Amino acid sequence: MAAADTDTIRAALLALHRELVEEERRRYEKIHGRQSGADFLQTLIADPAFAWLAPLTTLIVRLDELEEAQDAEPGAVLAATRSLLAADSPFGRRCAELLQSNPDVAFTYAAARRAAQ
């Protein structure tokens, strides 16, 4: 996989992460009230309800590390990305719930899946 491919995948995963966090924040604030950015970041890090996002964050970090490595093999990261975005994965199932309520999530999820193909 070329560096341009990993850049495309990374950009798609970052966009997906952003949309998912924004949707989760909207849902969280409906229940718990408005949060400052810092307060929500702490919630995002510490609340087990958001742990499902950790594998996506980890993949983005792994892609960043690939960019820095001289002789890195991106195949494992690509396989992990495809596995994470699979509809039958726990992450994919949670995304499917959010896809139903937010078209922006649906579009960015579809773009991430296309980038990983």
Domain definitions of the chain by residue range? 3-115
Listed as own residue / partner, the contacts of 73-78 with beta carbons closer than 8 Å and 24 or more positions apart are 74/1, 74/5, 74/6, 75/1, 77/6, 78/1, 78/9, 78/116
- Mutual angle of helices 90-101 and 75-85, in 10-degree steps: 50
Q: What is the mean pLDDT of residues 50-59?
A: 94
- Judged on CB neighbours under 10 Å (0-12, 13-18, 19+), 71 is exposed
| pLDDT per residue as tens digits for the range 85-99 | 998 999 999 999 999
Average pLDDT, the chain: 90
Q: Please check the confidence at residue 54 and state whether its pLDDT lies above 70.
A: yes
Asked whether the beta carbons of 85 and 109 are under 8 A apart, the reply is yes
Across the range 60-74, mean pLDDT stands at: 80
pTM above 0.95, yes or no: no
